[in-house]
């Protein structure tokens, strides 16, 4: 139930149309398409695409395997560096990563090899009747992981491969983290996140305890005492506030919370949908929110950002997606006040026009405008909830401080994913950090065992 919007009506869009609007945004390649596309890869040496991939996948190799009709081999190449290669194939902003670096972008062609879709082709079509990786001899070591999102899952899989036993504590009723709860529905369809988790757990040696939240059900000090190492992959648990009056009024909610419901529901027609909505923010979550509420039937959707388009963290591809969906993008405007109707519910939002001064600082102008809106979605970033962490764990810029080995300032406690200050909070980066943390934990545990 979406409490802040319960006064709104549900969507008027026909179920069949809704289904179409939330079907796969980038349909998978057929066998023929994959053959043709893979033949376009130049099999570069020291390939720019690999250097641009946060998770070190040997892209030319897996594409050559597809071209040679070795789909299982291609998937193995992907999974050996990125066990969540299937979801990354769907959600990675390839336009700023591998595909941007593809040499076929240059000069006369301007058409990169469709690396993301090829990765999806390999991981979707490989034979997974038996898990493709095996576990090393049991080490007798036990590792606790907090959070079953991409970082936690990737770490767990690599630790299990090394022969360690892993217990993941997950606060939600399902694993997958933002893959399950945070990705636009048309980017990952058909319960893929859960299928991928099942596949990953196929290696064995990983137990997930659901509904187990740090600070409520478990404590860091207890985990430290009970396990040989702890990996924190707690993500960002809370949405930033606008710091305006009426922020608790019906009609105001966090985009992340709405998207969670949108992804979780079996029936999109039960979702409350405003006639008009304002989305505040400039990242991919803001875009996902604006596009999805538009597709759900909101007639007018404004995405408002206080700076210009070039400063938006959503990629150009994502911005185009929003425009194509009919979302109005308004830049250089700052939320100033939430306006309510006589019943105390959201009726609109007033904005102050902004500008940059000569020092590049954002300043208010003397102009303002008001947008009618029955709902306001906040997508101005998430923050880490740090109340439940040990006071000795050092935090920098609101995130956990880790070294290059993903070690926190507490011995035996490691961290990765969005809760650290590394990278741009991409799924693929979380996977990489989880994998690297597992290697560090393994090294440290085995070195300790030698004494």
**Site residues (CB under 8 A) for other proteins?**
35-36, 39, 42-48, 51, 67, 103-104, 106-107
**118 phi, psi to nearest 5 deg:** -70, -40
Whether 161 and 206 have beta carbons less than 8 Å apart is answered as no
Q: Among residues 44 and 213, whose Cβ is nearest to other proteins?
A: 44
Residue 340 token pair = 């309510």
Length of the chain: 451
Q: Where are the alpha helices (DSSP H) in 296-414?
A: 316-325
CB of residue 53 vs other proteins: minimum separation in angstroms? 13
CB of residue 162 vs other proteins: minimum separation in angstroms? 31
Q: Among residues 20 and 42, whose Cβ is nearest to other proteins?
A: 42
Q: Among residues 68 and 392, whose Cβ is nearest to other proteins?
A: 68
CB of residue 44 vs other proteins: minimum separation in angstroms? 4
Q: Among residues 55 and 285, whose Cβ is nearest to other proteins?
A: 55
CB of residue 56 vs other proteins: minimum separation in angstroms? 15
Q: Among residues 14 and 69, whose Cβ is nearest to other proteins?
A: 69
Q: Among residues 45 and 127, whose Cβ is nearest to other proteins?
A: 45
Q: Is 317 exposed, middle or buried (0-12, 13-18, 19+ CB in 10 A)?
A: middle
CB of residue 230 vs other proteins: minimum separation in angstroms? 35
Q: Among residues 36 and 355, whose Cβ is nearest to other proteins?
A: 36
The string over 4-31, giving b where at least 16 C-beta atoms fall within 10 Å of a residue's C-beta and e elsewhere, is bbeebeebebeeeebeebbeeeeeebee
CB of residue 103 vs other proteins: minimum separation in angstroms? 4
CB of residue 110 vs other proteins: minimum separation in angstroms? 11
H helix count then E strand count, the chain? 16, 17
SS3 116: helix
Nearest CA among 220, 204, 85 for reference residue 150: 85
- What span, in angstroms and rounded, lies between the C-alpha atoms of 121 and 65? 12
- What span, in angstroms and rounded, lies between the C-alpha atoms of 278 and 346? 11
CB of residue 48 vs other proteins: minimum separation in angstroms? 6
Distances (CA, A) of 33 to 64, 97, 113, 336, 354: 14, 22, 12, 50, 47
Q: Among residues 26 and 44, whose Cβ is nearest to other proteins?
A: 44
Q: What angle do CA 202, 422, 219 make, to 5 degrees?
A: 65
């Amino acid at each position: 139930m979406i409490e802040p919007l319960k006064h709104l009506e549900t969507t008027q869009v026909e179920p069949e149309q809704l289904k179409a609007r939330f079907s796969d945004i980038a349909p998978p390649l057929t066998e023929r398409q994959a053959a043709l596309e893979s033949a376009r890869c130049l099999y570069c040496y020291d390939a720019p695409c690999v250097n641009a991939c946060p998770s070190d996948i040997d892209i030319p190799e897996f594409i050559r395997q597809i071209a040679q009709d070795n789909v299982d081999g291609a998937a193995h190449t992907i999974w050996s560096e990125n066990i969540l290669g299937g979801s990354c194939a769907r959600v990675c902003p390839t336009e700023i990563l591998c595909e941007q670096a593809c040499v076929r972008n240059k000069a006369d062609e301007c058409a990169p090899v469709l690396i993301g879709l090829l990765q999806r082709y390999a991981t979707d079509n490989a034979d997974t009747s038996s898990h493709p990786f095996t576990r090393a001899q049991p080490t007798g070591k036990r590792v606790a992981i907090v959070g079953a999102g991409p970082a936690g899952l990737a770490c767990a899989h690599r630790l299990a491969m090394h022969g360690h036993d892993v217990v993941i504590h997950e606060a939600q009723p399902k694993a997958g983290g933002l893959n399950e709860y945070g990705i636009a529905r048309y980017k990952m369809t058909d319960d893929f996140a859960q299928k991928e988790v099942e596949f990953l757990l196929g290696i064995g040696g990983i137990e997930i305890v659901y509904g187990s939240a740090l600070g409520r059900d478990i404590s860091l000090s207890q985990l430290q005492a009970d396990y040989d190492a702890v990996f924190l992959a707690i993500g960002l648990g809370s949405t930033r506030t606008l710091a305006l009056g009426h922020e608790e009024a019906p009609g105001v909610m966090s985009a992340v919370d709405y998207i969670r419901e949108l992804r979780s529901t079996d029936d999109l027609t039960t979702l409350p949908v405003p006639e008009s909505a304002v989305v505040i923010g400039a990242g991919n979550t803001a875009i996902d929110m604006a596009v999805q509420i538009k597709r759900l039937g909101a007639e007018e959707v404004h995405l408002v950002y206080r700076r210009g388009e070039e400063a938006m963290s959503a990629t150009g591809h994502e911005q185009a997606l929003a425009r194509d969906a009919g979302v109005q993008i308004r830049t250089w405007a700052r939320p100033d006040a939430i306006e309510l109707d006589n019943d105390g519910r959201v009726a609109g939002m007033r904005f102050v026009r902004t500008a940059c001064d000569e020092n590049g600082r954002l300043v208010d102008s003397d102009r303002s405008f008001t947008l009618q809106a029955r709902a306001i979605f906040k997508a101005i970033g998430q923050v880490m909830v740090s109340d439940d962490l040990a006071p000795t764990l050092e935090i920098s810029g609101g995130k956990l401080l880790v070294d290059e080995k993903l070690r926190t300032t507490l011995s035996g406690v490691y961290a990765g994913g969005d809760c650290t200050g590394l990278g741009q909070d991409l799924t693929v980066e979380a996977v990489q950090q989880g994998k690297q943390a597992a290697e560090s934990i393994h090294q440290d545990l085995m070195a300790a065992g030698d004494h």
